[in-house]
Structure 1
């Protein structure tokens, strides 16, 4: 599926060629690359599924791309793509497939995995989700006291939170008309701060909680769920009716989403209010299925299916288009070049559209949880760099925060600029539409200008007269620009899928498994042991001096309450 088990990526012939090539190219300024190649935009730009990918501001040339494509071939990327999409066991450490792409297959498709077609079960789960969405949108879902639900709180963390939160915010303009109004909220923090706010404001009679956890054992989520259950039962009991019994409260005020139906039932979620997904869907890849219930509640099932269709169109592109024109592959290769050959270890995600406020946070998990690995799939320690440190913020805000470092700091950073070409076409009032479109042009002006200055430095200025060093800009900072024709459910689906596939291609070249997260699991285990000690149910003397001191400080604070 990838490189031979006896070979590590850095021993492949193309990797060695790229090292030599990088020594020759790394001192060439981007302004020189543009000056030497008038056709650079056409050479390094691709379009599909309502997206335009501009890689012309990367610090590479056509020879670089040729060598990188050779590396992809030697690393077995073609076969790996086929293995992923056909349901092979690409999650090697857990010996199972990674079938998030199956969640967006059309109903008439077929995908046989271990002798079973998984598509019917996927669409059955979507149909069950649609039934719950329709009931809530019709105002027919009643709480324990008979009032229709008005607020839905998604209880989840990681992939059960970041994806749905990001998409519901991005697609808030696509709320269906004529439905019972439902407001969707998110609580992920284990410290209870979000819950404390919601429980102080919401009406328990009209609040529904969606308990989303793949394993249904995540302590962050279950602690919030227990708090919500106690709040509901205690508050609703005040209404003086046996109809508000604990059993009825849990049945009418909780939906469960998990790969473990038996654990949902054990907690008390009614079987009719359980939505399922499967262990072959990683948490950070799960928003396409029933974990996407909050998305469907905000945008409606028709738009949710458009979202899936956009992602599927990128899947088709990924599967069928040659590597040289394959957008996820090219995006991945640019990252490989920056990390492994230009030694750029920082990557910033900069959307120029307020609706994409949470996109950087979503990609932080997608990329760093997937590819933050230091061991190959064969269990060997890696001696080359893998995933860079990834962070970001809305570009217009970030300009007033950390762009100073981008332009004049000592740390090289590669940036992804993301923006829609069109916006506000649907605003009815002519004057308001004109003002908003002017603001959109302002955002695009800043987006395009910032990437240009990062590339050219001082040469972006018309007047390059004498200036002190602290007013000079070196430029030569690489960037990618992703343009959406318009931000819609379809183009957002394609955008997310493009980044998912980028992560996979990079993992295959680095020879790592992007579908496990053992570092996360270790943290959970140690936290559980520490919690017991905090509650005087463990042996503190086994800990290091710092941990003992911190716990004793907590005990002392408790004693003063």
Structure 2
């Protein structure tokens, strides 16, 4: 197998040659869109409009093999501690039923049963009318993205509001015109020490106390990996829903972090979300690299960032329901890949691009002139849906 340095050198050598324009590539290969697109689990992805020649694509797949992507993938799903910085496993696929030891699977099954029972009981209750979800970063972006996406297809049992900014307007706007007696507060923090979330949770608790006195904690829920921290804060043990240190915050959507979604739309809807992710896990772990959608998208990113040198990537969903997708992907990619050193402590080259974007068609009247005319050049991922529900 080609070693990693040789694979990188072969890839970079293509940069010294004249990379054809897209028009030239399609003239040379009119069927380019047919063999540079994939249909996977209801998704159609066309990467033929990326400025990648066939030699470039083959060199990218060779780089993936030289980097032992398949081996690292196996280690991830086996639960090995591939997060060497914190000496932890990276096992969020286990939350989707795609990985994990028998012990971990039992822990997940137990917590899923707890969240389902709790959600069903609250949904049957005639008391609660509003859910206020307090979080930041991964404790906010995933659930908020899914909330907007689900609204088109599923009836909302409750009014779901989100609090994220330490600016007092965020918590004040969320609590405006609400009755503490009909409101459930969910504080979501992996560490339960995140400053912004603690400040907003304190403000929410004081608001509950003003209306409910010593019954305030009956309306306060904690989702955290720090059970003791939640107990010290005064949360009822029965109201603490845990996830684990092997779940990175930006991947925590699949855990009890999405309790507010289960409450609002029902546990069955959340289970369907997990099932869809599990299907993609199965594709990722079984498809050859050259027909593997996550691998191809990652290698396209390497081509654009490390070979052509594009500094950013625009993500433009032509669906209002997916308007938070660019923000969600910002954290997912930039926090994961925005590194300055390798595992061995050596300086990296350019890593991930700056991720940005907004919903179309408003984007066309905001920054598309830059896309058309700027000399920097910016790849764009356009996302469309067949129907809006």
Alignment TM-score, normalising by the size of structure 2: 0.97
Partner residue, 2:112:
126
CA distance in 2, matches of 1:381, 1:121: 39
The alignment status of 1:295 with 2:287, answered yes or no, reads: no
Deviation string 1:221-273 (CA, Å, 9 cap, x unpaired) is: 0100111111111233xxxxxxx42xx211x1111100111111111111111
- 1:234-249 matches, cutoff 5 A: 234-236=210-212, 244-245=213-214, 248-249=215-216
How far, CA to CA, are the matches of 1:103 and 1:176 in structure 2?
Answer: 25
CA distance in 2, matches of 1:298, 1:331: 33
2:31 to 20, 39, 53: 39
Aligned to 2:208: 232
Tell me, which stretches of 5 or more residues in structure 1 are unaligned? 141-147, 237-243, 425-561
Cα contact 1:133–1:297 (8 A) shared by 2: yes
Alignment partners' CA distance in 2, 1:422 and 1:235: 44
**Structure 1 moving runs of 4+ over 4 Å:** none
- The one-character-per-residue Cα deviations of 1:468-490 (angstroms, maximum 9, x if unpaired) are xxxxxxxxxxxxxxxxxxxxxxx
Cα distance between partner residues in 1 of 2:82 and 2:220: 34
Secondary structure, in 3 states, of the residue corresponding to 1:399?
helix
> Which stretches in structure 2 are left out of the alignment for 5+ residues?
none
Partner of 1:145: none
| Superposition deviation, residue 176 in structure 1 | 4.6
For 1:423 and 1:195, how far apart are their aligned partners in 2?
A: 30
Larger RCO (alpha carbons 8 Å, 6+ apart): 1
Give the CA deviation at 1:62: 1.6
Q: How does 1:28-107 map to 2 (within 5 A)?
A: 28-105=20-97
Contact 1:83/1:90 (CA < 8 Å) preserved in 2?
yes
Counterparts of 1:164 and 1:331, CA distance in 2: 24
Give the match's secondary structure for 1:154.
strand
The answer for the alignment partner of 1:156 in structure 2 is 135
Rounded Cα–Cα distance in structure 2 between residues aligned with 1:157 and 1:410: 35
Partner secondary structure for residue 377 of structure 2: coil
Asked if 2 retains the 8 angstrom alpha-carbon contact of 1:151 and 1:183, the reply is yes
2:363 alignment counterpart: 398
Q: When the two structures are superposed, what TM-score results if normalisation uses the length of structure 1?
A: 0.67
Whether the 8 Å CA contact 2:319–2:388 is kept in 1: the answer is: no
Alpha-carbon distance between aligned partners in 2 of 1:167 and 1:198, rounded to the nearest angstrom: 18
The question of 1:265 aligning with 2:244 is answered: no
Matched with 1:220 is 196
Structure 1 distance, partners of 2:54, 2:316, is: 26
Superposed CA RMSD in Å reads 1.5
Aligned partners of 1:172 and 1:298 also within 8 Å:
no
Aligned to 2:378: 413
Give how far 1:89 is off: 0.8
Aligned to 1:172: 151
- The SS at the match of 2:184 is strand
CA offsets, 1:70-112, max 9 Å, x none?
1111111110111111111110111111000000007xxx732
Pairing 1:139–2:131 present:
no
